[in-house]
């Protein structure tokens, strides 16, 4: 059985969605909406912790904050892309800044799969999670 903090992933399904953000409110907000929709969730409050959790859990999807102290989203994404065990992980980069041009997403070897502007709507978060995980988003947004 899985728990919200990223407990054992079990053999019957993928690991939890990993949320990496240095803003506690954003972690709580995303966790609330995703778990309410039935998704298992794990969290990390900085880039280094996010990398460690990703390597341990091998999540199918990571919502990754672009701007964090020490290890930002670009550096985390580059590390994820360099790890063959995480090659199938879908990364959605989130930032409060204006949406970058697609070519601007590339920081060295790291490139996210998608970009999501903050503040994000719950329905958009659930739609994107459902699309990546092959599960339709719930009919009613949380």
Per-residue pLDDT tens, the chain, 142 aa: give them.
333 444 433 333 567 999 999 999 999 999 999 999 989 999 999 999 999 999 999 999 999 998 888 888 888 888 999 999 998 899 999 888 655 555 555 545 567 888 888 888 999 999 999 999 887 655 544 4
Please calculate the CA angle 66-22-124 and round it to the nearest 5 degrees: 60
Whole-angstrom Cα distance, residue 105 to residue 111? Answer: 6
CB 47, CB 71: distance < 8 Å: yes
User: If you count them, how many residues does the chain have?
Assistant: 142
CATH class of 17-133: alpha beta
At residue 4, the pLDDT reads: 43
At residue 104, the pLDDT reads: 53
**Cα 81 → chain centroid:** 14
Strands 90-95, 17-20: pairing is unpaired
At residue 35, the pLDDT reads: 93
CB environment 11-49: b (16+ within 10 A), e (fewer):
eeebbbbbbbbbeeebbebbbebbbebebbbbbbbbbbe
Domain boundaries, the chain: 17-133
Q: Indicate the pTM of the whole model.
A: 0.81
């Amino acid at each position: 059985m899985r728990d919200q903090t990223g407990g054992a992933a079990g053999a019957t399904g993928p690991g939890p969605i990993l949320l990496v953000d240095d803003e506690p409110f954003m972690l709580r907000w995303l966790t609330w909406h995703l778990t309410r929709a039935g998704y298992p969730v794990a969290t990390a409050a900085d880039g280094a912790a996010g990398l460690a959790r990703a390597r341990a859990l091998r999540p199918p999807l990571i919502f990754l904050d672009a701007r964090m102290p020490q290890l930002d989203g670009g550096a985390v994404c580059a590390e994820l892309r360099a790890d063959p065990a995480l090659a199938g992980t879908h990364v959605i980069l989130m930032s409060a800044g204006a949406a970058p041009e697609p070519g601007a997403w590339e920081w060295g070897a790291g490139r996210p799969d998608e970009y999501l502007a903050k503040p994000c709507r719950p329905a958009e978060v659930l739609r994107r999670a459902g699309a990546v995980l092959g599960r339709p988003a719930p009919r009613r947004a949380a």
